[in-house]
Chains A and B, each alone.
Chain A
Amino acid sequence: MSFEILFLVIYFVAMAGIGVWAMKRGKQDAEGFLLGGRSLGPGVTALRLQSSSMSGYMFIGAGSMGYTQGYFSMWYALGDLGGGILNLSVLGRRMRKLSQILGSITSIEYLEHRYPSKWIRLIAAPVALFCMFFYVLAQFIAGGRGLEMVSGVSFPVALAIAIGVIVLYTFLGGYLAVAYTDFVQAIIMVVGMVWILVATLMAVGGFTKGNEAVGEINPNLLTMWGADLGYQGQWGVILGALLVFSIGYMGWPHVVVSHMAMKKPSVARTAGVYSLIFNLLFIPGPYLVGMFALILLPNLANPETAIFEVADAVLPTFAVGIVMAAIMAAIMSTADALLLQAGTIASQDIYARFINRKMNDAQMVWVSRITVLALAIIGYAIAAFDPPAVAAVVIFSTTVLGSAFVPSYICAVWWKKANAVGAISSMIAGTLVSVLWQVSGAPDATGIDPMVTGILASTAAMIIGSLASQKSHPVPEHIGRALDETAKIGPIPKKMLIDQDALLASQAEMAGRHE
């Protein structure tokens, strides 16, 4: 058995061990399973948030983009750097507090509690599931490509193994298992990325010499405008690249659920600092390694394999194993968060909400697992026979998620007039505009990224929809009180938590009457 395979096996077993430990440690009720009993401190919160949003894209798509577009790719990295701190500073404390006052345990349920209407969940759940499927599909492909490189087996076989491991691992436990394994995986990712970046810089003679050598291949690669200067003056595309992984983050249901699982609302403060440090260490690496791969491996048939090939070329054999573990960590930490969230949406937000309101915990777990299996099988069928490019799939699915949900999550805690009509209009407008903009080829024709048009459309729809319907659909009084309390710096008054069950019952009844 090669060193790389041995390392991967040790890594998989270690992650499974952490998962089992966390599962035994956690509470077994719904809040324990889905939110880890709201017990997470700043370190786990920050690294879980970052590792679940830094996917296989960072090792496959980012490297490929650096290899083909040079410093233009850094626009994505530069937005991404602030994604964590932006998310935690804008949403963190308030979302933690409001979700507890409203008794919400899933990020989609939270939206329905804040904007009481069953249509919120009927629209949000399928949109989120649709985007998450494509996002997780990209993780499957990335995992398959990684194993194919290391083991030498064919892509369909490597893909089957990667999907099998990811699915089994997701079955291990709930949020706490995912959070703790994500925490460890984030550390492995940073160590692996810094190691490969340092080795690459040494191999090309340092940062300045590396840049000069890239400039000799094509001086355009050193500009911020792409290999053929095609993005010069295309500020609509550049703004989209900056937004997709910074502001866009705040609309990803599998990421914002981290806020709800924090031990205390103030955890967001320290977690924000940790997330910035993680990002500064980790994010520029894959783009730079991809760029310098042009010097080390100028004739790569598939740029998506740039980081794997560079690791193989510049690192000692045992270190390649660690870097491979880091790559699998990036893939698995995103895939498990996505699959857990997708299973939660299917079981809690669709099945329990609309089909079987008396569902017990065992049924919830089964619906969740069947959903995960179905996504895995469909994902395999698509990825094995016609695998799309990882970067394109990730950017498309995250663009739609961001466009659909960012205004709803932000306005939920910052704008008292935001109501159900505004939120529903916002989610529909964001989804439709970003998807139609992309499939119609408008980005090429206009030079404007779908993230820009999607966010503008969903924000406008939120404002117009809410203001136009204040009389017909006023924000319920108890939501106003909850928002006042959320804005205050101080503990939640006990009476707001004691009456939670009665409040939720009346909320559901009221939502039913509105329809």
Chain B
Amino acid sequence: MFGLPAFTTMVIIGVPALWVIYTGVFLWLSRGWKHEDAEEQR
């Protein structure tokens, strides 16, 4: 794909995908942080 060897394609697509997944997991795990702001504003 893209005129590249299969391993190169896998790495240059796979690693960024891992970072996107990591970000998604971080957002999910930190969903409660907004309560901190709500309490701070009160």
Contact = CB atoms under 8 A, between A and B. Distances in A.
Given A89-B30, A222-B3, A491-B40, A71 B19 contact: no
A48 interface: no
Contacts of A265: 33, 36
A78 interface: yes
A237 to B, nearest CB: 15
Interface stretch (A115-123, A208-216, A379-387): A208-216
A390 interface: no
Interface in A211-233: 211-212, 215, 222-224
Contact of A489 (B16, B23, B27, B36): B36
Contacts of B35: 489-490
A280 B16 contact: yes
B26 A74 contact: no
Nearest to A275: B23
B36 A490 contact: yes
Contacts of A85: 19, 22-23, 26
A222 B6 CA distance: 10
Interface string B14-34: 011011101100110010111
B8 to A, nearest CB: 5
Interface residues of B, number: 26
Contacts of B19: 81-82, 85, 276
A410 interface: no
B8 A71 contact: yes
Contacts of A269: 26-27, 30, 33
Interface in A56-83: 71, 74, 78, 81-82
A276 B3 contact: no
Given A81-B15, A224-B7, 20 more contacts: A71-B4, A74-B11, A78-B16, A81-B19, A82-B22, A89-B22, A89-B26, A89-B30, A209-B3, A215-B3, A222-B3, A224-B11, A264-B40, A265-B33, A265-B36, A272-B23, A276-B20, A489-B33, A490-B39, A491-B40
Interface of A: 71, 74, 78, 81-82, 85-86, 89, 93, 207-212, 215, 222-224, 264-266, 269, 272-273, 276, 280, 284, 489-491
* Pairs of residues from A and B, 7 with the lowest C-beta to C-beta distance, nearest first: A211-B3, A82-B19, A78-B15, A266-B33, A212-B3, A491-B40, A208-B3
Interface of B: 2-5, 7-8, 11-12, 15-16, 18-20, 22-23, 26-27, 30, 32-37, 39-40
